[in-house]
Amino acid sequence: MKALRTRGGKSTPLAGCLLAFGLLAFQYGDRNGLNHMPFTRVKAMVPELSKAQALAKQGNIDLLAGTPVQGKEVSLRGELTDANCYLNTGDHAYDHAFCAKFCAAAGSPIVFIADDGGKVYVVLTAENGVPLPQTALNQLGVPGIVVKAKMLSAHGVDAIAVESTGCLDNGRGCQ
Q: Band the pLDDT of 49: cuts 50, 70, 90.
A: confident
Contact in structure between 118 and 153 (CB atoms under 8 Å): no
- Decide: helix, strand or coil at residue 95: helix
Q: What CATH number was assigned to the domain covering residues 72-167?
A: 2.40.50
Q: What is the mean pLDDT of residues 158-171?
A: 78
Percent of the chain past pLDDT 90, that is, above it, reads 21
Residue 117, pLDDT above cutoff 80: yes
- The pLDDT score that the predictor gives to residue 110 is 92
- The pLDDT score that the predictor gives to residue 65 is 76
The overall average pLDDT reported for the chain is 78
Percent of the chain past pLDDT 70, that is, above it, reads 77
Residue 77, pLDDT above cutoff 90: yes
Could you give the CA distance from residue 160 to residue 132 in angstroms, rounded to a whole number?
12
Contact in structure between 153 and 172 (CB atoms under 8 Å): no
Strand partners, 124: 161
Q: Band the pLDDT of 40: cuts 50, 70, 90.
A: confident
Q: What is the largest CA-CA distance in the chain?
A: 88
- The pLDDT score that the predictor gives to residue 148 is 93
Q: Which residue has the higher pLDDT, 167 or 119?
A: 119
Q: Where in the chain is the domain with CATH 2.40.50?
A: 72-167
